[in-house]
Every structure is written in structure tokens, then in C-alpha cells.
Structure 1
Amino acid sequence: MGLTPDDHRQILRRLSWASAGLYGLVRCLSSSLSLFDESPLLIHNKFLRWDLIHFAAIADQGYTYEEQWAFLPGAPLFMYISKYLVGFATNNVLACEIFTSVALSLLAFESIQTLYNLSLLHLKSPRLALLASALALLPSSPVTFFFVPYNEPFFTFLSYKGMHACATQQWTKAALFFAVASTFRSNGILLAGFLLWGLLVQPFMTGKRIYISTLIRSTILTAIIFVPFISYQAIAYMIFCLDKPISNPVSWRNKFPPSIYTHVQSKYWNVGFLRYWTVSQVPNFVIAVPPMALIFAYAGHHLRSVSKIFLAEGLRQTPSVKFQNALFITPHALHALLFSSILLFASHTQIVLRLAASMPFTYWAAAWLYIEYPRLGGVWVTWSLMWGLISTILWATFLPPA
């Protein structure tokens, strides 16, 4: 008798503890090494790195500097609540760090379980779902997946939950998960595509009629997802534009749309189309190659396969089971392709190492590679393990990439 899905879930729980334990041990051992940048010591918190320094400042004092508006409020709010629950009670930075690490590890474990359940629905194979979920326990940024209150662990959890809600046609629930995800990363608005696909595109492609009520529902649910990000922009507009004298307007006031987020990202982080494509950034592009190449390769493979089936069958009332199953994966392929393209051409490309985990498609692609091309699959597993360990040491010593 073979293993059941419940057996697989139990295996994944054990593997989750093992993975978190391995990377946690490496992080602890690496913390004894000298810091490349000792700025965390100046603010009396040796555990803060990179964006966490900004998050902590926002959590303590609110948005006091223009450049801080590059960070959405989700992660700072979590840090504020954590400090209130633990830090104020114990006045101990270490206690706060332990609480945060344990809480985020448990969140990551639940993300893996959700990934398995989602994979089970879409891949139609318990063994394939287990493989993909096990590969997800070798993330390319273990520290930001398991231990620290970056945006990514929350964004990954909420994205997975929303995608699973879409897969089970719980559209309102999905919209709420995606809306909360948008309080952590602006990319959360792209998740609206899963709702539009499930409510409009997939029914159309399988020959079903689209009713006006469905169009209205889709519009409302999509608007819900956009509300947090738009509200964030509106608050900034009121603070910087309406409360300031007209004689001293901010530079982005008259732009359309008047977005402080895009202004700050461009001004302070040099984000924009091809602005990151410089010789000095070549190392960051190189380390981003493995996940980027995997996502683009599998997305191309899947979309070619779906196109062939669609051209052969066309729109009909009773599409084949093969076509229907392929359509479940297609929105994930399109989302991963669009998301990765934005990271490649108009962002800091190396952050795909943190964000790849938020896309189930990454690990479905890894499972495909492992099965169809075992040698390359082995290379992927080796790279994932080695880079995960290296990036953990780099994080502990405050070395890039962030």
C-alpha cells in the first residue's frame, strides 16, 4: 500500500523542521563572524540587516523620511506588534528575535503545507506534489523564508493561501488574502490575475458563457486587491501634497499617477526599466540566473504545450480533461513569466532569490526538471542547497546580496 496524502503531509512537516534546523544552525554559527557593516551595532540590535533596519525604524517612529515610503506597512506593523507583545514585556532584543524566528518558521511550515495542497489540486499527482513541496524546502533565501520579518515570508504565505482559495473557487476569500499580501509587496496586485483567470478567462476558454453578474463580481473582487496599495498612495499624497504649501510642491505631485512609491523607488533605489543593467550589477544578474532560467524555461514549455492543445481543440463545450488540467497551471505560468520579467528588466534582479519562493510555479518547474532531465534536476538541487547555505552566511555577516 502506497503513501497517502496525509503521510506526505507528515513527511513534509519533518522535512520542514529539518530544513529550518539546518539553516538555523548555520545562521547561529555564522553570527559569530565579523560583520562587514557594523551599523546594526550602532542601533543596539545586532540582528538587523538590510531592509530590516528601515522596517524597525518605521515600526518605532512611523514614516519619518521620504525614502521610507519605498516600504509598504505590512512588515513594519508585524515588527511593531512583536515588540509590543514580547519586547515591551521582557525589554530583551534576543527574546524578540527568538519569538520572531519561531513565528516565521511556523508560518513557513504552513506555507509548505498549503503548497502541497495546491500542488495536489493542480498537478493531479500526490507524488509530484510531494516532490515539488520538498524542493521548496531548499529555498534560495532561507533566512528570509524561515527566520526574519522581511516581506517575503508573509507574501509567500498569503499568496499561497489566495491561490489555493482560487483553486477551490472561494473567490472572496482569495481576494482578501491577495489584498493583505498587497500590504507587504506592491507585486501583490499582480495576484488579481488569478481571480480574473478563474472567473473570466478559463470559463471562456472552455466554452462557458460569461454573465454580467460575473463581470461585476470580478471587478469588485479585483478592486479589493488594489485597495491597500491605492490607500497607501492616497495617504502619502495627503501628507506630501495637500499638507504642503503650493509654493514648495513635491516633484511627483503633478505626475500621473502621482505615486510616491514609484518616485521613491526610482530616486533612492534606481528602479526603472533597464536602469539596473550596468556592468557593476553583472554579479547580481549571474546569481539570479538559476531561478530565472528555470522559470522562463518551464513557462515556455508549458505555454507551448497549452497552445498546441488549444489550436487542436479550439473553443468547445466539452474540452478534453488534458486541456482543462493544463489550464489550471497556465495562470501560474503567466504570473511567473510576468513577475520574473519585471524583476529582470525593471527591478533589482537578484531579489528573485527571495521572491521565487512566493511562486508555486518555481517548484513545479523544479519538479519537472528533476523528472524530465534528472541530471539537470540534480544540478538544481545541489545549487539550491549550496546557495542556500552560502546566502545564510552572507546574511549573518551583512554581506550582499540583500
Structure 2
Amino acid sequence: MVLHPPPHQHEQFILKSALYSRLLVLSLTITWRILASPYDSSAPLNLPCLTANHTLASALENGIVWDSVYFVRIAQCGGYEYEQTYAFLPLLPISISFLSRFLSPIFAPFVGHRAVLAFSGYLICNVAFVFAALYLYRDPEIALRATILFCFNPASIFYSSIYSESLYALLSFAGLYYFVKGGNNLASLFFALSGCARSNGVLNAGYLCFQTMHRAYNAMFQQKRTALALGTVIAGALRSVFVFAPFVAFQAYGYYNMCKGRLPDELRPWCKARVPLLYNYIQSHYWPENFFSLGFRTSIEEKSSGVVFLSDDFYRSKKAGNVDKSSVKAKENSNLTKRKKVTEGAVGEVHMAEPATRPGYFSACVLPFVLHLAFMAATAFFVMHVQVATRFLSSSPPVYWFSSYIMAHPTKYHRWGYVIWAYSAAYIFLGSLLFSNFYPFT
């Protein structure tokens, strides 16, 4: 009999691993920033209103690179000044601005307001990462390995920078946790908030749609209760609309600021569209993402990272999908008699899925997670630049679940565990060097 440490010890280990991984990434970032010369020297440039010339302030502001510039600028100005800034959703800037209001009276006189904003952003993102790791872990063994893999994932540099990845991961993992536990209202709330952090947060509504279809089918064809099926569909639709609402509201906010009250000659092209979607226009106009963007990249580093990550995701989706077919069939046969016994129950009392015949991450219960990952991987492969693909997919739990499964069976998958760790370590090392010095990095 194998004895496992109690869950609280695992959680303490995960907490330490998450903290140590963030300290490692931040230490590497600071070290490389000191030793290497930045490719783009614009990071230390201050706005005219900032006159503080403190060493600590310079160190903090030098870390405001790439998309961090936009997040800090939005928080600093209290809104969106230019069209392209609407590509960055408001949750992180709002959080930075809110926290900086408490820190500014203490630290701003010494380091300046922009440095306080930078510190607030770093604090929020790294703390959010730690809590995201705790939410990802809820079972022993494979889940423990999966969470440790998340702590040291290839996109780690983005989770320790002023990027929205950490907030998105925290809110998505929290939503998934409550979703699996049956707390659909809390899950919907966290999914909606994830849509305030990143646009792909709206895809989390897919979990609710999958659950709704499953429950409606069960109510209609197994229980023969049309009213229950209709109530299930209505409840699921309302929750899905709730998840989409923040993103739609942000698009309406952008339309009001950029299009409302303008003369026809001053209107931007997207304002005149039948469905004026600001986000889609910005992505295509300022950051063109074309069909098969991966294939037209010329950087060896970019291609290798994207191919490894995307092929890994497609393999996992296919592997889980093949197993799910037999699992679903066995599940339906074993649960048919159970469903016939159900004669009463409310919408909220019908679970997402009955336990499948095969337990663990190859059960039928994992199907919505695999479908979500497959859709994200296909989107990343066909219409997304490799610079975005790695971090875009790094917040998907199945990536770590199936990597953990591979590492838990070394005799079956030979040395793939070493390859996974080597890949992650290499990208943590490269990311801290290239990203912090304004060099292109995935």
C-alpha cells in the first residue's frame, strides 16, 4: 500500500513551489537586466510629469516592457487614450490602479507614481499566480505533478511580469474548480471576470454550454421531463450570457468613446461596420494575425517553441479523445439504469457528469476540458502568432494534466518526462533573458 502525504502538506508544498518559482523568475529577470543590454532602450523613458530619479524606481520602471507598457499606461491615465490600447482588457489596469492608491501615499514621494504602478502590477500578477497554482491542485499524485509543472511552465516569465496571464489563470482555475464542484453561479462569476482579464475568457462559457446540453439531454430523454429540460436550457443560457456580458460591455464602452459623437469623416472603419467589434479590428490592424501565422514566421526559436507546444496540445487532445470514446460508451451503459431511477430534482441538483468507468484524466468527465484545449490549440495554430500561442495555451489545465500523466508512467513514455522538464527550464532561462531586455520572445 502506498501512503500519500495529507492534502494540507501537498498544499504547503505547492505554495512553496509557486513562491520559489516566482522568486526564481524574478531573480533571473533582474540578473539578466543588469548583465545584458536591452535591444529596445525605451523602457526607462519616463513621462514628463515624473521627475523621480531613484535607483529603485529605475529598476521597477525598466521592467515595464512589451505589453506591460500598455497596462501601466492605462492604469496611470485612468482610461484608454488611443485606439490600440483597447486590445488590453480592463481588469488588470483597474486592479493596478486600485492597489496603487493605497501604496502611493507611502512610496510615491520616494520612487514616483509610475514605479508604484509597476510594483502594484508585479505584486498582483505574482500573488495571483500563487493562488492560481493552489486552485489548480485539488487531488494527490498526478494533480500535484501537474501543479508543479504549472509553477515552472515555459511561459513563466509572463506570469511574473505585468501581464494578464496570472489573473486570467487564477479566475479560470477558480471558475473550473467551482464548476466541477457544482457551484455554477460562482463558476459563472469567475468565468465572467476572466473575460475582463483576457478576451479568451469568453470561451469558458463553453463549459457551461457543455454542461447544459448534458443536463438537458438527461432531463428530456432519460427522465422524460420537458419542463426540467427547458429550465436547464434557460439557466445555462443565462449563465453563458453572463460570462459574455463583461467583454460585450467593454466593446460597447470602446464604441461609445471612439465613435459616438464623431463626424462621418472622422469615424474609424470599424465604427461603420454592421457589427462594430473594436477588439477584432485592433488585432487585425495593429497586430495582424493571419491564417497559418505560424507558417510564415522565420525565427527558428519561434518556430521550434510553437511547434513543440502546439503539437503537444494536439497529441493530448487526440489521446484523450480516443480514450473518451470508449469511456463515454461505458459510462452511458453503466449510468442508464441510474438515470431511470431519477424521478425528481432541480436544475442545480443534476451533476455535470456521473463518474466514468475509467477514472482520472482519461475519464469522460475530462471531455469538455479536452474540447476547450483542442479549440484553443486550433485557434493558436491557424490564426495566431507564435509569440502569443505559448502563453495563450499555458493556462489550460489539460496541458499539465497529461504532461503529469506522461511523467507518472516513465516506463511507458520512456524519457518524455525529462524532455518536458528540459523544455520548461530552457524557456524559463531564455524568457528571463530575452523578454526582460526587450528582445522578441514567445
TM-score normalised per structure 1: 0.90
Post-superposition offset of 1:133: 1.1
Post-superposition offset of 1:312: 5.7
State the Cα deviation string for residues 284-309 of structure 1 (Å, max 9, x = none).
23212222222211110111111133
Q: Which one of 311, 333, 344 corresponds to residue 293 of structure 1? A: 311
Q: Which one of 132, 156, 161 corresponds to residue 111 of structure 1? A: 132
- Show the counterpart of 1:134: 148
Larger Rg: 2
Q: Is the 8 A contact 2:217 2:229 kept in 1?
A: no
CA–CA distance in 1 between the matches of 2:5 and 2:247?
44
Q: Is the 8 A contact 1:141 1:392 kept in 2?
A: no
- Show the counterpart of 1:307: 325
Instruction: Judge which range, 386-395 or 193-202, deviates more.
Output: 193-202
Instruction: Judge which range, 278-287 or 159-168, deviates more.
Output: 278-287
- Show the counterpart of 1:149: 162
Matched, 1:167 2:180: yes
Matched, 1:59 2:75: yes
Post-superposition offset of 1:272: 3.6
CA–CA distance in 1 between the matches of 2:94 and 2:65?
17
Post-superposition offset of 1:169: 0.8
- Show the counterpart of 1:31: 33
Amino acid at match of 1:6: H
Highest RCO, 1 vs 2 (Cα 8 Å, sep ≥ 6)? 1
Distance 1:229 1:217, change over 3 A: same
- Show the counterpart of 2:388: 351
State the Cα deviation string for residues 211-257 of structure 1 (Å, max 9, x = none).
21111110111011011111111122223333212344321234342
Q: Residue 183 of structure 1: SS of its match in structure 2?
A: helix
Distance 1:202 1:341, change over 3 A: farther
Q: Which one of 364, 372, 376 corresponds to residue 416 of structure 2? A: 376
- Show the counterpart of 1:184: 197
The 5 A counterparts of 1:72-83 are 72-83=89-100
The 5 A counterparts of 1:221-240 are 221-240=239-258
* Count of matched residue positions in the alignment of Structure 1 and Structure 2: 394
Q: Residue 84 of structure 1: SS of its match in structure 2?
A: helix
Post-superposition offset of 1:99: 4.6
Q: Is the 8 A contact 1:270 1:276 kept in 2?
A: no
- Show the counterpart of 1:50: 66
Instruction: Judge which range, 266-275 or 46-55, deviates more.
Output: 266-275
Instruction: Judge which range, 33-42 or 57-66, deviates more.
Output: 57-66
- Show the counterpart of 1:123: none
CA–CA distance in 2 between the matches of 1:65 and 1:290?
36
Distance 1:212 1:127, change over 3 A: same
Amino acid at match of 2:166: P
CA–CA distance in 1 between the matches of 2:222 and 2:167?
35
Post-superposition offset of 1:64: 1.6
- Show the counterpart of 2:263: 245
Q: Is the 8 A contact 2:67 2:163 kept in 1?
A: yes
CA–CA distance in 2 between the matches of 1:357 and 1:276?
17
Q: Residue 289 of structure 1: SS of its match in structure 2?
A: helix
Q: Residue 72 of structure 1: SS of its match in structure 2?
A: coil
Matched, 1:195 2:212: no
Q: Residue 8 of structure 1: SS of its match in structure 2?
A: helix
Distance 1:21 1:283, change over 3 A: closer
Post-superposition offset of 1:152: 0.5
State the Cα deviation string for residues 285-344 of structure 1 (Å, max 9, x = none).
321222222221111011111113334665634477326862221111110110111111
- Show the counterpart of 1:391: 431
Distance 1:135 1:313, change over 3 A: closer
- Show the counterpart of 2:237: 219
Distance 1:98 1:70, change over 3 A: closer
Q: Is the 8 A contact 1:166 1:198 kept in 2?
A: no
Q: Residue 40 of structure 1: SS of its match in structure 2?
A: coil
Q: Is the 8 A contact 2:297 2:303 kept in 1?
A: no
Amino acid at match of 1:331: P
State the Cα deviation string for residues 356-399 of structure 1 (Å, max 9, x = none).
33111110021122134140121111110121111111122111
Q: Which one of 40, 44, 59 corresponds to residue 41 of structure 1? A: 44
Instruction: Judge which range, 226-235 or 347-356, deviates more.
Output: 347-356
5+ residue gaps, structure 2, are 48-60, 339-353
Post-superposition offset of 1:79: 2.5
CA–CA distance in 2 between the matches of 1:289 and 1:165?
33
CA–CA distance in 2 between the matches of 1:50 and 1:383?
23
Amino acid at match of 1:55: F
Distance 1:96 1:53, change over 3 A: closer
Q: Is the 8 A contact 1:202 1:327 kept in 2?
A: no
State the Cα deviation string for residues 19-70 of structure 1 (Å, max 9, x = none).
2222222112112121110111223632210011112222223212111122
Q: Is the 8 A contact 2:64 2:162 kept in 1?
A: no
Q: Is the 8 A contact 2:64 2:118 kept in 1?
A: no
Amino acid at match of 1:132: A
Q: Residue 301 of structure 1: SS of its match in structure 2?
A: helix
CA–CA distance in 2 between the matches of 1:356 and 1:96?
28
CA–CA distance in 1 between the matches of 2:158 and 2:44?
21
Q: Which one of 3, 11, 14 corresponds to residue 13 of structure 2? A: 11
